[in-house]
Amino acid sequence: RYNRGNYEFDQDQRFDREELRIKMQVERFGLFREDIRDLVEMTVSKMDLYHLVGALFLKMIVIYYCEGFFIHAAPVFLVTFYYGSQACAVVYLLMAIWLAMHASISSHSYATRLLTRFVRLPIPGSSQLNVLNARYADFEKQGAQMLRVPFVREPTNSWQQRSQL
């Protein structure tokens, strides 16, 4: 009865320790996932801002290109340079808007890949949890270890555990 009580106490302590380890591991990976989400949100928010600013600049250039803002007739070479620079600005702004959208979408997809493949929560399966629970049948399989006198024989006097599945 004495050794069975010790076995129960040891198994309760071991289960509590392993339960705490699993909880801490899940919390740790939760922090990793939160870090990834924060980094992605920073990238996406910056790209969304670039997208908005680029769209506003593009709107103003289209308005200037269609309506113009000359009060008096300007020399032809200046108007040619003006519309040429406006056309270049349209091309650069379209490319900036496109790249900002591409960066935002790429960041989202890469974050999804990281969260689903590399930083998954380490939730234990039923076979791992089955190893943690103690059964009296396991105690009875100990053989001579059941009849041991604590602190008398060797210092590494411990109970045998079930093997991992």
Question: What gap in Å lies between CA 7 and CA 135, rounded to an integer?
Answer: 10
Structure tokens at 48: 């969304």
| Rounded Cα–Cα distance for residues 4 and 139 (Å) | 7
pLDDT at 165: 35
Query: Which uninterrupted H or E stretch holds 153?
Result: none
Length of the chain in residues, anyone? Answer: 165
Residue with tokens 């059964």: 135
Residue 81 in this model has a pLDDT that exceeds 70? yes
Q: Each residue of 107-144: pLDDT tens digit?
A: 999 999 999 988 888 888 877 777 777 665 666 566 65
Structure tokens at 86: 């406006």
Give the CA count within 13 Å in the CB-facing half-sphere of 35: 8
Evaluate whether 34 touches 131 at the Cβ level (below 8 Å). no
List pLDDT tens digits, range 4-48.
677 777 778 888 888 899 899 999 999 999 999 999 999 999 999
DSSP string, 71-98: SSPPPHHHHHHHHHHHHHHHHHHHHHHH
Give the number of other Cβ atoms within 10 Å of residue 71's Cβ.
Answer: 6
Mean pLDDT value of segment 54-63: 93
- 1: pLDDT strictly greater than 80: no
Backbone angles phi, psi at 74, to 5 degrees: -95, 160
Q: Provide the 3-class DSSP secondary structure of residue 161.
A: coil
- pTM tops 0.85: no
Tell me, rounded to whole angstroms, the distance of Cα 164 from its chain centroid: 28
